[in-house]
């Protein structure tokens, strides 16, 4: 998809991190940008910071885990702009570190509600109008954890694998009906963001105390910090994503230093298929 001035983009989770960087990069390309986020105050601050630089952006508070809220977001955007050319399903939460056997129902409901149902809601609410207009691009932000399986982050890993699979299925469906709409799934590694602090947005109804002893959590956290290395600046990440969109890449990988981990998993699948 060629990104051009005058097109309309919707970015969820746009109040900070990857979402804000993508919104900013799209503004610089001249697109009309609708920023959506569950944090109203942070979203208004983000909108104001772009507005102070002369960009015209619209901010809409939206909980992507709420299907009706995403429907309202789509209706609002279409009423204002008439079409959506680029949908970026970026909103996500990090879940909680700890062994899978320590996880609780609220951990799964929260993580899947945002990371998986949030993407599904975006597709369900926006794609029908994109199909009618006959063109567009859907970008689903997954994670490197959607192609690998790091330990002690089970709900998050499962949710991001689901986003990759959902995206593959969506791309196949659009190809089957010969639609010109393209799909990309972004699988970034460590990026400068507040996803590690996403517990701040967990709904009270899904709250649950960690069952993992503090000393164990401390060791797990230290291992993650050592393995992830320095986070990529969000501006660099956004540039790589936009380049992938313009090349119509389905899979957008942004951290080549971790490619070996992806290949290791593919090699294991290859060995199993040869042995079958």
**So which residues are the catalytic ones?**
156
Q: Which residues pair with 4 in a beta bridge?
A: none
**Number of other residues whose CB lies within 10 A of the CB of residue 220:** 17
Report CA 50 to chain centroid distance, whole Å.
21
For residues 23 and 2, give the distance between their C-alpha atoms in angstroms, rounded to a whole number: 16
Parallel, antiparallel or unpaired: strands 32-37 and 57-61: parallel
Question: Quick one: which of 138, 135, 164 has its CA closest to 251?
Answer: 164
For residues 18 and 91, give the distance between their C-alpha atoms in angstroms, rounded to a whole number: 9
> For residue 109, what are the CA distances in angstroms to 56, 65, 113, 114?
36, 10, 6, 9
The strands making up 8-12's β-sheet, listed across from edge to edge, are 57-61, 32-37, 8-12, 86-89, 137-141, 182-187, 251-253
């Amino acid at each position: 998809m060629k990104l051009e001035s005058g097109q309309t983009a919707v970015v969820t989770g746009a109040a900070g991190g990857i979402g804000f960087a993508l919104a900013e990069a799209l503004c610089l390309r001249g697109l009309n940008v609708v920023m959506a986020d569950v944090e109203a105050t942070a979203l208004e601050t983000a909108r104001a910071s772009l507005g102070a630089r002369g960009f015209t952006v619209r901010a809409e508070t939206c909980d992507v885990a709420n299907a009706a809220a995403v429907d309202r977001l789509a209706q609002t955007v279409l009423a204002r702009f008439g079409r959506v050319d680029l949908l970026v399903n970026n909103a996500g939460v990090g879940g909680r570190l700890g062994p899978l056997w320590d996880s609780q129902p609220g951990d799964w409901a929260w993580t899947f509600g945002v990371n998986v149902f949030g993407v599904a809601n975006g597709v369900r609410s926006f794609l029908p109008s994109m199909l009618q207009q006959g063109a567009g691009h859907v970008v689903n932000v997954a994670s490197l954890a959607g192609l690998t399986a790091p330990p002690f982050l089970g709900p998050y890993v499962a949710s991001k694998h689901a986003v990759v699979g959902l995206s593959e299925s969506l791309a196949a469906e659009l190809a089957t009906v010969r639609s010109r709409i393209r799909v990309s799934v972004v699988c970034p590694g460590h990026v400068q963001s507040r996803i590690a602090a996403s517990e701040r947005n967990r709904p009270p109804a899904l709250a649950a105390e960690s069952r993992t002893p503090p000393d164990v959590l401390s060791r797990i956290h230290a291992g993650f910090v050592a393995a992830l290395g320095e986070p990529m600046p969000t501006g660099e990440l956004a540039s790589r994503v936009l380049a992938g969109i313009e090349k119509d890449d389905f899979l957008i990988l942004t951290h080549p230093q971790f490619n070996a981990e992806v290949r290791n998993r593919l090699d294991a699948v290859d060995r199993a298929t040869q042995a079958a």
